[in-house]
Structure 1
Amino acid sequence: MKIRPWQRRLVLVLSAVLAVLCAVALPAAYAWDGPGSDYTSRYLTRVESRYADTDLARFHYTVQGSGSPVVLIAGGALWGYSWRDVLPELAREHTVYAVDLPSQGYTELRQRDFAYDLHAMSAAIGAFLDAVGLERTALVGHSWGGAWSLYFAEQHPERVQRLALLDSPGLDAEKAPITPVFRTPVLGELATNLTGRGFYADSVRGTFAHQELVTEEMIDEGYAPFATPANRAGFLALWRNLDYRLTDAGLFRVTAPTLVLWGGADAWLPASQAGRLADRIPGATATLLPGCGHTVHEDCPAETIPLLAEFLR
């Protein structure tokens, strides 16, 4: 097919525009660490920070209560602050740990070749449990934290007493709508490194049905640790490396009693996944909470916490 002069000119113009965009975008995508935060956590003045030192990481965590152990694992771009309402209530009957895994909160990664995939995140859970002396525990995970907990329960069923999954991916099924953005080269780097407090706030609000509950403190507490270069890099790597074909294939290996909790108004992952996930895990049950979003324990604490307490009891 003969190329017409106007077509040739259009190609040249588009090539020039693309070259300019790449010249501007690539430094931001690969060289710039992104906007930071000078916020000092108020939450950490209200709880006692503890650290568990391992070869893999220096894990930051908080612990309250006494009784059988429960470990809380937050979702992507969140940290132990996300459990601020859950932890003290469960601590009435349990020793409750809220741990930051690599890419979260105030944990410092020490293993340079850490893969940020399901194998690595499962190993991080095991390393933390070993460091605090927990041979067997209940695990409660939200979103990505639930996926990591699920995979750990598949690989180490003897170490998981009970398992609660809150709006957690685990099926080889629908992904969050924004997934292609972070998995696309350059575009993913741009999206991660250009995320400022405002975009982070919009993302958090998108996980709530009751957006009036998203406070300025909540945004500051979440954004401050996310804004560090190490956590941004880990966040992007997780988007690209988490392979739910692995969790899907191993669901039959879970031996712990399992509760799947899901917000009926989850805009990130369809609530239909709750029943499908529970059906595939031996002895699991699924509970939908109508009118609740993806971050169900913060969006609907009055409904979520009693269900968790009863299940763990």
Structure 2
Amino acid sequence: MSGRSEFAAIVWQGRPVHVEYQWIAPERDTAPLVVFLHEGLGSVAMWRDFPQRLCDAGGLRGLVLSRPGYGRSTPRAPDETWGVDFMHRQAREVLPAFLDALDIEESPWLFGHSDGASIALLYASMFPHKVGGLVVLAPHIFVEDMTIRSIVIARDAYEHTDLRKKLSRYHDDPDSAFGGWSRIWLDPAFRTWSIEAELAHVRAPVLAVQGLDDEYGTLAQVHGIAAVVSGARVLQLPHCGHSPHRDCADVVIAQSVAFMHRHAHGGQSGR
């Protein structure tokens, strides 16, 4: 992302925080809106040019945000720890507060990656009439052993390599971003985390995308969505890891735009 970041003020964890965001093509005021939700180590900047490319290909508007603790948003407080329900709270509290702060009344599409994909699914289950549809890349609906192994490897790299320096390009406080994500995922209590029951409440169309070489999850994640969500479509991508929007950007853009247009809701208003 190369545009100018703005900041929305919300209350989170009992204190005021600022949420970084960028608009894409706001002049397309009658076009469907797509809200981009990043992964566990992501931010506005870490999406790079993908949201712009997708919106241009589909004639869409986009809204990209960094969740609290990430990017240029307010970092975690020194004593702030996330519970097993942290993604539920992001969907139930943070995302609605952010959309309200920007006076968004329409039902946007949600485009989520990894943790952001799980948050998108949770939001759609909690507010089924407030979402036009979902595209979820490498979603987590339960915890797999390989996910934990890969996060342990990432933690070791953060502690012993230049990973922290690399992440500082995308986060004002990389310790806030990495610590919040890794600490809860590696907490033994998190091993029983699951959103499989919540999926039964999703009514919006879902395109679930999984790379066959994903080191953080298997096809069981997207097949689990398809087994519960009526009409969900699964897209399996060979030679693709945990970031389909980087590894297979052209295919993801083409398939996502086609899916959105197929399920477009008429009469969406502008912001």
TM normalised by structure 1 equals 0.69
Corresponding residue number in structure 1 for 2:20:
60
Mapping 1:124-143, distance limit 5 Å? 124-135=94-105, 136-143=107-114
Q: Are 1:49 and 1:61, in contact at CA under 8 Å, matched by a contact in 2?
A: yes
**What residue identity is the alignment partner of 1:304?**
V
* Distance change in 2, residues 1:235/1:272 (3 Å): closer
* Distance change in 2, residues 1:251/1:238 (3 Å): same
* Distance change in 2, residues 1:168/1:226 (3 Å): farther
User: Is 1:231–2:177 an aligned residue pair?
Assistant: yes
Counterpart secondary structure, 2:46 = helix
User: Is 1:102–2:68 an aligned residue pair?
Assistant: yes
Q: Are 2:82 and 2:180, in contact at CA under 8 Å, matched by a contact in 1?
A: no
Q: Are 2:68 and 2:76, in contact at CA under 8 Å, matched by a contact in 1?
A: no
Whole-Å separation in 2 of the counterparts to 1:192 and 1:120: 28
User: Is 1:91–2:55 an aligned residue pair?
Assistant: yes
Corresponding residue number in structure 2 for 1:81:
45
Mapping 1:1-313, distance limit 5 Å? 46-56=2-12, 57-65=17-25, 66=28, 67-92=31-56, 93-109=59-75, 115=82, 117-122=86-91, 123-135=93-105, 136-171=107-142, 173-178=144-149, 181=152, 191=156, 194=159, 196-198=161-163, 220=166, 224-225=170-171, 228-239=174-185, 240=187, 245-313=193-261
Larger radius of gyration: 1
Query: 1:165-207: CA deviations, max 9, x gaps?
Result: 101101355550426849xxxxx9x748725424x6xxxxxxx
Q: Are 2:70 and 2:173, in contact at CA under 8 Å, matched by a contact in 1?
A: no
Query: 1:107-162: CA deviations, max 9, x gaps?
Result: 11588767451232112111111111223211010011111111111111121110
Whole-Å separation in 2 of the counterparts to 1:226 and 1:269: 28
* Distance change in 2, residues 1:89/1:229 (3 Å): closer
**What residue identity is the alignment partner of 2:64?**
A
Q: Are 1:192 and 1:232, in contact at CA under 8 Å, matched by a contact in 2?
A: no
> What are the ranges of 5 or more consecutive residues in structure 1 without an aligned counterpart?
1-42, 183-187, 201-218
Q: Are 1:292 and 1:300, in contact at CA under 8 Å, matched by a contact in 2?
A: yes
Counterpart secondary structure, 2:147 = coil
Counterpart secondary structure, 1:48 = coil
CA positional deviation for 1:284: 0.6
> What are the ranges of 5 or more consecutive residues in structure 2 without an aligned counterpart?
262-271
Q: Are 1:76 and 1:235, in contact at CA under 8 Å, matched by a contact in 2?
A: yes
TM normalised by structure 2 equals 0.78
- Mean Cα deviation higher: 114-123 or 239-248: 239-248
Q: Are 1:170 and 1:244, in contact at CA under 8 Å, matched by a contact in 2?
A: no
Query: 1:80-112: CA deviations, max 9, x gaps?
Result: 233323211232322101111123211115887
User: Root-mean-square deviation (CA), in Å?
Assistant: 2.9
Whole-Å separation in 2 of the counterparts to 1:296 and 1:222: 23
Counterpart secondary structure, 1:130 = helix
Counterpart secondary structure, 1:159 = coil
Counterpart secondary structure, 2:136 = strand
- Mean Cα deviation higher: 242-251 or 278-287: 242-251
**What residue identity is the alignment partner of 1:166?**
L
Q: Are 2:111 and 2:134, in contact at CA under 8 Å, matched by a contact in 1?
A: yes
Matched residues, percent identical?
Answer: 23
Whole-Å separation in 1 of the counterparts to 2:245 and 2:44: 13
More helix by share: 1
**What residue identity is the alignment partner of 1:58?**
H
- Mean Cα deviation higher: 272-281 or 298-307: 272-281
